[in-house]
Amino acid sequence: ILNVEQSPQSLHVQEGDSTNFTCSFPSSNFYALHWYRWETAKSPEALFVMTLNGDEKKKGRISATLNTKEGYSYLYIKGSQPEDSATYLCASYNTDKLIFGTGTRLQVFP
Amino acid sequence: ETGVTQTPRHLVMGMTNKKSLKCEQHLGHNAMYWYKQSAKKPLELMFVYSLEERVENNSVPSRFSPECPNSSHLFLHLHTLQPEDSALYLCASSRASGRALGTQYFGPGTRLTVL
């Protein structure tokens, strides 16, 4: 059974704080790691797709790193804003399936 | 957010009812997906369609019946559901199925409650 684990489950930070969370995935038969951002009552929105060990992607204040040998990815948010409040999902493509984690729910307070 | 639309957004049904969920994508994609998300669980893939052919059925009970009449539309027909089927049902599309790098574009989901 392939499991993708995300931690923490939820996170509350103050506006301006930087934060990060983790996605752990199976390293065997790994092809790609996807990050999605999901605001309440909206559609999940793709953030990054990463494939290579050591990959680093950036989109504004959000960045992600990938370690395929040990099977983890970090998502970083610099200077969190209230509009960053959302659930951040990661999904690992292993063999022939995209397996999702349960997400990290981030709340940023003004 | 008009790339993938889903209707209805909310649905309440009894166990003996028959209802359908509709998904439409305006992105010119060839693959469409149904996912289920139950409380505190990850997204579970239910069905995959590629060029209107079902390519994956993840041991989903027959009370869920998908239909893909063309590459832009996907339906999920529901009948004699159980209360444990209450969940958020998400539709997604991508350029092709089975591609590791292929981003999936999601609809906003239908919140289903079975009484």
Q: In whole angstroms, give the CA distance from residue B67 to residue B81.
A: 17
Q: Which residues of A touch B103 (CB under 8 A)?
A: 34, 46, 49
Q: CB of B10 within 8 Å of any CB in chain A? A: no
CB atoms within 10 A of CB A84: 20
Q: In whole angstroms, give the CA distance from residue B51 to residue B32.
A: 9
Asked if A102's CB is within 8 angstroms of B41's CB, the reply is yes
Write down the residue that tokens 């493509």 correspond to: A93
Q: Evaluate whether A44 touches A109 at the Cβ level (below 8 Å).
A: no
Query: Which stretches in chain B have pLDDT values below 70?
Result: 1-2
Picking from A4, A43, A93, the nearest residue to B1 by CB comes out as A43
Asked if B1's CB is within 8 angstroms of A46's CB, the reply is no
In tens, the pLDDT along B55-70 reads 888 889 999 999 999 9
In tens, the pLDDT along B21-35 reads 999 999 999 999 999
